[in-house]
Amino acid sequence: MMIIIKNAIRERMRKKEIYVFAALGILLLLLFGGGSTTLQINGVPVTDFSNMFGIMHGMVTVIGCLLALLISLQTIPNEYERRTSHLVWVRGISQTSYHTSLALANFLSGVIAVGILYMALAVYVIGNGETGVLIRMIPAFLILCINIGIISLLTSVLSIKLPAAVSGLIGAIVVIGGLLYGILDTYRSIMGGFTGSLLGMALRVLPDFNQIRAQSAAICKGGSIEWHGILAGLLTIYILSIGLVCLKRKEA
């Protein structure tokens, strides 16, 4: 299992588009943090650390979620396409173990990629002399990894049965919906009626990435956290993991 994970991570790390994406993310972070932007809220320049850190932390979350999606999208379909899977079956490894290993590899690759982005954020924090925040960023990163885990696992599970394009589309909808969860929930309450009910049903199945991001940001700021959002994220990972046990490919 470890060999499968190691090989899969190595392959993920060879993908050029991941580095391009991560580099763009770092560039964007440095642009914001370097003071070379004139971003304003309500006419007031956002230059102080607490404002800028919040914005940059949000950016890391969005870019990180998209990176995790990109990384996980083709792992399982590619394995089957290249018939690598047959080399695994002859060693007596079950489909569940194989898929779990690949999903874990996707998750760890996502964590590494987002970790690189987080390092850029850490550079900004050190530059501002906020060492207290730097220490709190470690548990905050672990919380953020729940989002990465959900996306990696969802895309991996979907790609067992669906073509990469379809699972990518579903993953993208879930990422956008999950990041906008708070806004969508408020819209649901404002609208009411049939549309509100429909949106309410969609929100029941959407993971609340925004809540997890908020808890991660709260840790960085030294504020109190709401455990429900974090636990709900972990439960989502658990439920998705059932897909790894239940879903099988025919060509195996």
Partner 1 sequence: MKFYKIAYIAVGVILLAACILTADKGLSQEDRQVYEQANRMQEEMQEHGFRDLILSEYKVRFFDGDYDYVMNGTEVIREDPVFQTFVGTAYEVEGEYQIVMPTLERFSQMFGILGAAGGLSQGSTSFETAAYGMEEHIATLWHEGFHAYQFTHYEENVLKLAVGLEGEGNPVLTAIDGDTAAVSLFEEGMGLLRTAYYEEDTELKIEILLQYLDKQQERDKLLTQSNTEMDLTAAERYYETIEGTARYMESLAYELQKGTGQMEVYYLGAFTYENGTDKYYSLGMLKCRILSQLTEGWEERFNFSQGIDEFFGETIFMGQLADYDI
Residues at the contact surface with partner 1, assessed by CB under 8 A = 41-42, 44, 182-183, 185-193, 196, 226-228, 231-232, 234-235, 238
Please report how close the Cβ of residue 64 comes to partner 1 at its closest, in angstroms.
22
Nearest to partner 1 of 156, 167 (CB atom): 156
Nearest to partner 1 of 72, 210 (CB atom): 210
Please report how close the Cβ of residue 195 comes to partner 1 at its closest, in angstroms.
12
Please report how close the Cβ of residue 221 comes to partner 1 at its closest, in angstroms.
16
* Dihedral sign computed on CA atoms, order 33, 38, 43, 47: positive
Nearest to partner 1 of 41, 90 (CB atom): 41
Contacts of 45 (CB under 8 A, 6+ apart): 38, 39
Tokens of 29: 């972070």
For residues 39 and 119, what is the distance between their CA atoms, to the nearest angstrom?
23
Encode burial over 9-34: b for 16+ CB neighbours within 10 A, e otherwise: bebbeeeeebeebbeebbebbeebbe
Nearest to partner 1 of 31, 234 (CB atom): 234
Contacts of 211 (CB under 8 A, 6+ apart): 181, 182, 226, 229, 232, 233
Please report how close the Cβ of residue 234 comes to partner 1 at its closest, in angstroms.
6
3-state secondary structure of 252: coil
Nearest to partner 1 of 78, 241 (CB atom): 241
Match 């953020």 to its residue by tokens: 144
CA 128 from chain centre, in angstroms, equals 27
Nearest to partner 1 of 81, 226 (CB atom): 226
> What sections of the chain are H helices per DSSP?
2-14, 16-33, 49-72, 75-81, 84-89, 95-127, 131-161, 164-179, 181-191, 193-205, 209-221, 227-246
Between the alpha carbon of residue 165 and those of residues 77, 93, 162, the distances in Å are 10, 28, 8
Please report how close the Cβ of residue 209 comes to partner 1 at its closest, in angstroms.
16
Please report how close the Cβ of residue 191 comes to partner 1 at its closest, in angstroms.
8
Nearest to partner 1 of 21, 181 (CB atom): 181
Please report how close the Cβ of residue 164 comes to partner 1 at its closest, in angstroms.
28
